[in-house]
Amino acid sequence: MSLSMSALKRRQAVLRRLLQALPLVVLAGCGFHLRGALEIPADLVPLYLQPETGSPVMQAVKYELSGGTVPLAPSADKAKLILRITAEGRSSRVVATNNAGKVLAYELHYLVTYEAVAADGKVRIPKQKLDLVRTFDNPDVEVLGKQLEEAQIYQEFAIDAADRILMRLRTQLR
């Protein structure tokens, strides 16, 4: 008994769709889900970001929140929740040298301290510190490229810190 050509094509189309859906089924089965939008209780919005400018982490937080559901207040007195970056800094230390004392690798640190305070002064998230660390190789060649790579790493640190801060806001303000 042979299948007609149209029946064979239908079976192939069904099989193709099943194979396309397989990764989604596997991801759903393992518990993976998108993190979704930042949800802050209604009594704590709008949110004010302090400092407004000059902080790479705050710029990344503002970018992450743009187009989202959390309104930003134009000033602290109009906000119901204030997210403060109280300290932000970078440092490095030598982690490897060769026999001649030439530095082969650094450990780069990006330190951020933040807190969230309600308009009534109640501390919603006490001061917390983030210390992001990455090893940075320093070979003798491509000095300009290494300077650009280091700057890129610090930019990635700011984005990662913003993501972590927003994740903690999401979990601790429920």
Q: Helix, strand, or coil here: 24?
A: helix
Distance CA 130, CA 112 (A): 5
Q: β-strand 123-137 against 103-118: which pairing, if any?
A: antiparallel
Q: Helix, strand, or coil here: 11?
A: helix
Distance CA 140, CA 103 (A): 9
Q: What is the pLDDT of residues 55-114, one digit of tens each?
A: 999 999 999 998 788 899 999 999 999 999 999 999 999 999 989 888 889 999 999 999
Q: Domain coordinates of the chain in residue numbers? A: 1-33, 34-172
Q: What is the pLDDT of residues 110-158, one digit of tens each?
A: 999 999 999 999 999 999 999 999 998 876 666 667 778 888 999 999 9
pTM flag (> 0.75): no
pLDDT of residue 25: 62
pLDDT of residue 88: 94
Cα 10 to chain centroid distance, Å, stands at: 44
Cβ 46 vs Cβ 65: under 8 Å: no
**Is pLDDT of 33 > 60?**
no
Topology of domain 34-172, CATH: Double Stranded RNA Binding Domain (3.30.160)
